[in-house]
Homo-oligomer: A and B are copies of this chain.
Amino acid sequence: MVANALKRGPELAAGAIRTKRKDRADRWPELVTAAAELFAEKGYEGTSLRDIAERLGMLKGSLYHYINGKSDLLVHVMREAHARGLRTIAAQAEGEGRAVSLLETMVEAHARYVCTETVFTAGFIEARKHLPPERAQEFVLEERAYRLRVEALVARGQAEGDLREDLDPKVAALCLLGFLNSLHNWVRPTGVHSIRRICDHAVALGIGGMRCR
């Protein structure tokens, strides 16, 4: 369903020494998930390689089969979050139809992603803050393209007469994306509010408020 960067495995850890032992279970997906979990729980600075190794029941030294250091995991958490989230969401907003309908589809998909992938959303937000600019470059263009796509849909929705003309498409897009990412702060996948219901509210508030009255 989702193009999953984890499946590409540890060859992504450029320069990392890959063990040759074929009988070693590939712990790569677990490693990236544990990193995302710990970044979300304790913050990047508060997470040590020892914490990550402990969560996986590995020795700290074994992590160096996969990565050169903790900062490598920032990139891998980001890549995985992009693969699971942004790319899938953006794809859903392709296709025919009025801009406002595409926006609703996209908001629904984005809200659903944030509500179900809470660990990768929180891990992503934490990783984003700590990623050095030179390593952020590969993500910047994709994120910008996503935001520009939302902006363009808002502008088209205005031209089509569905959305309020007094809104600035850029400010509206920034508000909307910030709102959607903020859901991870309180939504719990096992919470009392169904994800379906939360997504409905996200569409109501996110898009309903932009519609012409």
Question: Closest chain B residue to A204 by CB distance?
Answer: B209
- Tallying the copies of this chain within the complex gives 2
Question: Closest chain B residue to A111 by CB distance?
Answer: B175
A43 to B128, CA, bound (A): 13
The yes or no answer to A2 lying at the interface (CB within 8 A) is: no
The yes or no answer to A8 lying at the interface (CB within 8 A) is: no
Pick from A129, A198, A205 the residue with the most CB of B within 10 Å. A205
Cβ–Cβ contact A205 & B176, under 8 A = yes
A201 to B209, CA, bound (A): 9
A94 to B37, CA, bound (A): 41
A61-69, A132-140, A179-187 - the one binding chain B? A179-187
The yes or no answer to A44 lying at the interface (CB within 8 A) is: yes
Give a binary string over A55-99; 1 marks a CB under 8 Å from any B CB, 0 the rest: 000000000000000000000000000000000000000000000
The yes or no answer to A15 lying at the interface (CB within 8 A) is: no
The yes or no answer to A149 lying at the interface (CB within 8 A) is: no
Interface residue ranges, A against B (CB under 8 Å): 42-46, 129-130, 164, 166-168, 170-172, 174-176, 178-179, 181-183, 185-186, 193, 197-198, 200-202, 204-211, 213
Query: What 13 new A-B contacts, CB under 8 Å, besides A164-B204, A171-B198, A172-B201?
Result: A43-B45, A43-B46, A45-B46, A166-B200, A175-B201, A178-B182, A178-B186, A179-B182, A182-B182, A204-B210, A205-B206, A208-B208, A208-B210
